[in-house]
């Protein structure tokens, strides 16, 4: 760490940005009724009794006049799905409220929907804060939902991956000479994958199918009429390959059929095959809902986000299953 | 959302808690030299020019006198690994600074090590904030490191899973009638697992080994001298089982040996087997380091945390590989 004493604003901002915050939109209305709103992450709680919160606004902000003369303003703690709204209220020169349905609040200040929490405030104090004004508001009414909140850290939006009070440990602490620990990402991914597969595998047993057949049916349910080579291009990442023999077995179970198009042999799902695949996907979704309920909605979103980033950053060049032909 | 107007302090605190924050420790020194420090998440930035930050302290806090009379105080934005320090400075009645090495700062206020960022401040203003005092400090010096910051949300510690500016999409948007999408957790876990396995599989090919053998060697590298049944209890979660034949093949490759202990046949790793396993683990670690570098250290920590929580919440009752016998 190099200690900075001179004030390079960019370096100072980078240091400040490491302090994680939620994202809020703060709204008010001008005396002539114009709706005003800005995105701010300088919000924080101050006092319980009386209930006070604060935020700061740049003295050169266009909205300073409106907030300085308004008695009432509302703070909206944004939910993860409101990221586009955060961007909209951070920009200038568009009608920020266009198309937004508003709730009725205790004042005329606009009250947005679908937030994680909302605080309807009346200015208690406004204090000098250098190039900003610090607004301290008394909270007159508030509410909150279960929607996972949007997070901001070092200039990027984020989701919170919450740590339980007790450290999560899967097993005993290995002796120091053991080079294989439960902290290996590869171990964790493999074990998570196989545990998620547990219920599916039991269904596959009742369907007299193996894992390879599951991947084959899944691919055909997204993209029908594939040659064996095309099919294998989509499942090769699993290390499993369909063969003429394994496909013949699915044919004999009447789950796939072989058709000839333009002189090429292509596999299609039968109605039975589609139904078998739908049952597998329905089960996978049920397992996922169960997991999401245990982790919490925000944490499940965070897990999916991180897995997508991992997949995107380690993709050996897989063809896009969902791309239009 | 139910709108609250009466002030149930617990409900109000729950609503405020949805606003995510970092965690800071703020330190100062009394005139007679006693080191003072408290955990606070009411920190925020205020002004760039002059550089100002703020935080609030309860009027009934033991440390109010010290912070009110001190000119200088330091704000430490805690890193993810400093969670224990956060707990220590949030409690009363222990010597919070015991055993902590301090850095030299520009004032006598204690300056802690290994933080994500530090701001050395001099009180610029102190303002009334209901049952709290709002301290606004001019930042005289600051520094920051690359350590991922600790996050706090709804009364729990957390890590941030950052969202890139562009949405992460693995493929084209599927048509609405497609029930199988890239958003399925099972698909994401499977694909992440298999992509992580990609490099390992190439190594296994050069070692003339299959995935099942990889799991067998891994288990034996952690826990030696297992019967076939014991071995299978540890790898059953993968859906693969070792057989007398598959073990005989590893024996013929001189990677494992069969020994008789107390009349029971038990498998042990040979020196060659241990070396083959070490090479596999070294490769897995190299792949992991590459991924962690691409995701960022904090995001990689968050991913592991979430995978552990998923595994713990969906564990069908696996024996602990690392437990002492």
To the nearest whole angstrom, how far is the Cα of B25 from the nearest Cα of chain A?
12
Q: What is the pLDDT of residue A325?
A: 67
- The pLDDT > 90 percentage for chain A reads 82
The CATH code of the domain that includes A49 is 2.30.110.10
- pLDDT tens-digit series, residues B180-227: 788 899 999 999 999 999 889 999 999 999 999 999 999 999 988 999
Q: Which helix (H) or strand (E) holds A77?
A: strand A72-77
* Distance between CA atoms of residues B218 and A162, nearest Å: 30
Number of domains chain B contains? 2
Position A180 in a domain: no
Instruction: Flag whether residue B322 sits within 8 Å of chain A, measured between CB atoms.
Output: yes
- The pLDDT > 70 percentage for chain B reads 97
Q: What is the pLDDT of residue B314?
A: 87
pLDDT surpassing 90 at residue B111: yes
- pLDDT tens-digit series, residues A172-198: 777 767 777 788 999 999 999 999 998
Q: What is the pLDDT of residue B263?
A: 87
Same domain for A140 and A238: no
Position B174 in a domain: no
Same domain for A103 and A61: yes
pLDDT surpassing 90 at residue A317: no
Top residue of B9, B11, B15, B324 to mutate, by most chain A CBs within 10 Å, is B15
Mean pLDDT of B87-92: 93
Instruction: Flag whether residue A1 sits within 8 Å of chain B, measured between CB atoms.
Output: yes
Minimum CA–CA partner of A133 in chain B: B46
Top residue of B56, B176, B191, B292 to mutate, by most chain A CBs within 10 Å, is B191
Q: What is the pLDDT of residue B145?
A: 96
Cα dist from A33 to A64, A70, A107, whole Å: 16, 11, 12
Instruction: Flag whether residue A202 sits within 8 Å of chain B, measured between CB atoms.
Output: no
Same domain for B193 and B230: yes
Q: Which residues of chain A make contact with B187, given a CB cutoff of 8 A?
A: 284
- pLDDT tens-digit series, residues A207-224: 999 999 999 999 999 988
Position B35 in a domain: yes
Q: What is the pLDDT of residue A318?
A: 76
Higher pLDDT, residue A8 or B56:
B56
Q: B166: pLDDT confidence band, cut at 50, 70 and 90? A: confident
To the nearest whole angstrom, how far is the Cα of B6 from the nearest Cα of chain A?
8
Same domain for A189 and A294: yes
Mean pLDDT of B23-41: 97
Q: Which of A196, A285, A308 sits opposite B314 (nearest CB)?
A: A196
pLDDT surpassing 80 at residue B113: yes
Top residue of A104, A174, A196 to mutate, by most chain B CBs within 10 Å, is A196
Residue A306 lies in domain: 185-313
Q: What is the pLDDT of residue A319?
A: 79
Position B189 in a domain: yes
Residues across chain A = 325
Q: What is the pLDDT of residue A81?
A: 96
Same domain for B270 and B198: yes
Coil vs helix vs strand at B305: helix
Could you say which residues from 119 to 138 on chain A have a Cβ atom under 8 Å away from some Cβ of chain B?
A: 119, 124-125, 127-132, 134, 136
Position B232 in a domain: yes
- The pLDDT > 90 percentage for chain B reads 82
Q: What is the pLDDT of residue B169?
A: 76
Mean pLDDT of B257-262: 90
To the nearest whole angstrom, how far is the Cα of A192 from the nearest Cα of chain B?
5
pLDDT surpassing 90 at residue B179: no
How many beta carbons lie within 10 A of that of residue A70, not counting itself?
21
Instruction: Flag whether residue B293 sits within 8 Å of chain A, measured between CB atoms.
Output: no
Mean pLDDT of B121-132: 98
Could you say which residues from 78 to 117 on chain A have a Cβ atom under 8 Å away from some Cβ of chain B?
A: 83, 106, 116-117
Q: A158: pLDDT confidence band, cut at 50, 70 and 90? A: very high
CB A213 within 8 A of CB A273: no
Q: Which residues of chain A make contact with B53, given a CB cutoff of 8 A?
A: 16
Q: What is the pLDDT of residue A151?
A: 98
Q: What is the pLDDT of residue B216?
A: 96
CB–CB of B159 and A156 under 8 A? no
CB–CB of B157 and A159 under 8 A? no
Position B170 in a domain: no
Q: Which residues of chain A make contact with B10, given a CB cutoff of 8 A?
A: none
Instruction: Flag whether residue A200 sits within 8 Å of chain B, measured between CB atoms.
Output: yes
For all residues of chain B together, what is the average pLDDT?
Answer: 93
Q: How far apart are the first and last CA of chain A?
A: 52
Same domain for A221 and A269: yes
pLDDT surpassing 70 at residue B106: yes
- pLDDT tens-digit series, residues B62-87: 999 999 999 999 999 999 999 999 99
For B225-259, the DSSP string reads: SB-HHHHHHHHGGGT----HHHHHHHHHTTSEEEE
Same domain for B152 and B189: no
The CATH code of the domain that includes A262 is 1.10.10.10
Position B6 in a domain: no
* Distance between CA atoms of residues B209 and A20, nearest Å: 46
Top residue of B59, B306, B316, B321 to mutate, by most chain A CBs within 10 Å, is B306
Position B7 in a domain: no
Q: Which two tokens stand for residue B66?
A: 């010290």
Q: Which of B5, B168, B171 sits opposite A309 (nearest CB)?
A: B168
pLDDT surpassing 70 at residue B2: no
- pLDDT tens-digit series, residues A90-99: 998 778 999 9
To the nearest whole angstrom, how far is the Cα of B108 from the nearest Cα of chain A?
16
Last residue of a domain, one of B141, B158, B175: B158
Same domain for A192 and A96: no
Same domain for A143 and A255: no
**Phi/psi class of residue A299: alpha, beta or left (left: φ > 0; alpha: ψ in -120 to 50)?**
alpha
Last residue of a domain, one of A113, A143, A158: A158
CB–CB of A77 and B19 under 8 A? yes
For B115-153, the DSSP string reads: -SEEEEEEEEEEEEETTEEEEEEEEEEEEE-SPPBPEEE
- pLDDT tens-digit series, residues A259-295: 998 889 999 999 999 999 999 999 999 999 999 999 9
Higher pLDDT, residue A92 or A7:
A92
Could you say which residues from 240 to 279 on chain B have a Cβ atom under 8 Å away from some Cβ of chain A?
A: 277-278
pLDDT surpassing 90 at residue B282: yes
Within 13 Å of residue A95, how many CA atoms lie on the same side as its CB? 5
Q: Which of B20, B163, B300 sits opposite A20 (nearest CB)?
A: B20
- pLDDT tens-digit series, residues A241-258: 999 999 999 999 999 999
CB–CB of A144 and B14 under 8 A? yes
pLDDT surpassing 70 at residue A5: no
pLDDT surpassing 90 at residue B178: no
Same domain for B250 and B200: yes
- pLDDT tens-digit series, residues A112-121: 999 999 999 9
Same domain for B189 and B144: no
Same domain for A218 and A121: no
Which DSSP category does A4 fall into? B
Instruction: Flag whether residue B205 sits within 8 Å of chain A, measured between CB atoms.
Output: no
CB–CB of B172 and A324 under 8 A? yes
Q: What is the pLDDT of residue B181?
A: 80
Q: What is the pLDDT of residue A168?
A: 75
CB–CB of A4 and B195 under 8 A? no
Cα dist from A278 to A235, A284, A287, A292, whole Å: 18, 10, 14, 21
Q: Which of B46, B304, B311 sits opposite A134 (nearest CB)?
A: B46
Q: Which helix (H) or strand (E) holds A141?
A: strand A132-144
Q: B6: pLDDT confidence band, cut at 50, 70 and 90? A: low
Cα dist from B145 to A18, A228, B63, B246, B264, whole Å: 9, 52, 28, 50, 56
Instruction: Flag whether residue B218 sits within 8 Å of chain A, measured between CB atoms.
Output: yes
């Amino acid at each position: 760490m190099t200690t900075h004493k001179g004030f390079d604003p960019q370096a100072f901002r980078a240091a400040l940005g490491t302090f994680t915050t939620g994202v809020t939109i703060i709204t008010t209305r001008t005396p002539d009724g114009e709706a005003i709103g800005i995105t701010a992450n300088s919000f924080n709680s101050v006092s319980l009794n009386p209930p006070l919160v604060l935020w700061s606004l740049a003295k050169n902000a266009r909205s300073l006049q409106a907030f300085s003369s308004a008695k009432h303003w509302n703070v909206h703690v944004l939910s993860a799905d409101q990221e586009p709204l955060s961007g909209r209220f951070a920009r200038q020169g568009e009608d920020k409220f266009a198309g937004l349905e508003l709730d009725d609040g205790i004042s005329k200040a606009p009250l947005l929907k679908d937030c994680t929490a909302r605080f309807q405030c009346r200015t208690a104090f406004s204090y000098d804060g250098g190039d900003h004004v610090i607004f301290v508001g008394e909270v007159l009414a508030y509410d909150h939902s279960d929607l996972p909140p949007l997070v901001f850290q070092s200039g990027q939006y984020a989701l919170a991956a919450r740590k339980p009070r007790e450290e999560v440990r899967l097993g005993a602490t290995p002796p120091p000479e053991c080079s294989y620990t439960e902290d290996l990402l590869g171990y964790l991914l493999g074990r998570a994958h196989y545990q998620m597969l547990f219920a599916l595998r039991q269904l596959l047993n009742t369907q007299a199918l193996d894992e390879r057949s599951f991947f084959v049916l899944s691919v055909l349910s997204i993209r029908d009429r594939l040659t064996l080579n095309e099919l294998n291009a989509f499942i090769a990442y699993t290390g499993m390959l369909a063969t003429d023999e394994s496909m013949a077995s699915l044919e004999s179970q009447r789950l796939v059929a072989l058709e000839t198009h333009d002189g090429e042999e292509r596999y299609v799902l039968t109605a039975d095959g589609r139904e078998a695949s739908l049952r597998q996907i329905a089960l996978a979704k049920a397992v996922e809902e169960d997991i999401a309920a245990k982790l919490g909605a925000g944490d499940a979103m965070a897990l999916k986000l991180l897995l997508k980033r991992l997949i995107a950053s380690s993709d050996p060049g897989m063809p896009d299953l969902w791309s239009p032909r």
